[in-house]
Amino acid sequence: MNPGSPSQVIPFPLQAQVFAFDKDDGTLLAFPSSAETASRCKAVDVQDGYWLFFSDDGSPLLARFEPQDPEDDTALGPGPYSLERAMSGLWLQERLSRVTKVSGCGLASVADLEETLKVNRSKRIPPGKPRP
């Protein structure tokens, strides 16, 4: 296998819908759903800025926290969050140099991730339109 080439032949499209990037150690986790992402990435860590999120094509996602009842004294930390498209921010493709490890949804290397992002991004470009 050539250095920098995908570590495996991918016979079917990967099902990663969300990527979570750990800003502390450079790990990138791929998840099949936002719900699984929320169960793995603790809300308090998301609120503190330890995680960055990206959609399947690498576009940035923003965590929106559900409002908590101010009368509830038992609520510790932030409430549940959901992910939605960010209006601005760096794409995952622009942060690949900071990724040290990739795992989840069949991805094993940065080369696998790059190839997956290329495939997913090409699905977003309408036929007949020039690529940016």
Total-model pTM: 0.78
Q: What is the pLDDT of residues 77-132, one digit of tens each?
A: 788 899 999 999 999 999 999 999 999 999 999 999 999 999 888 876 666 655 55
For the chain, the structural domain boundaries read: 18-66+78-121
Decide if 115 contacts 10 (C-beta within 8 A).
Answer: yes
Which phi and psi angles does 57 have, rounded to 5°?
-95, 5
Contacts of 16 (CB under 8 A, 6+ apart): 30, 31, 32, 56, 104, 105, 107, 116
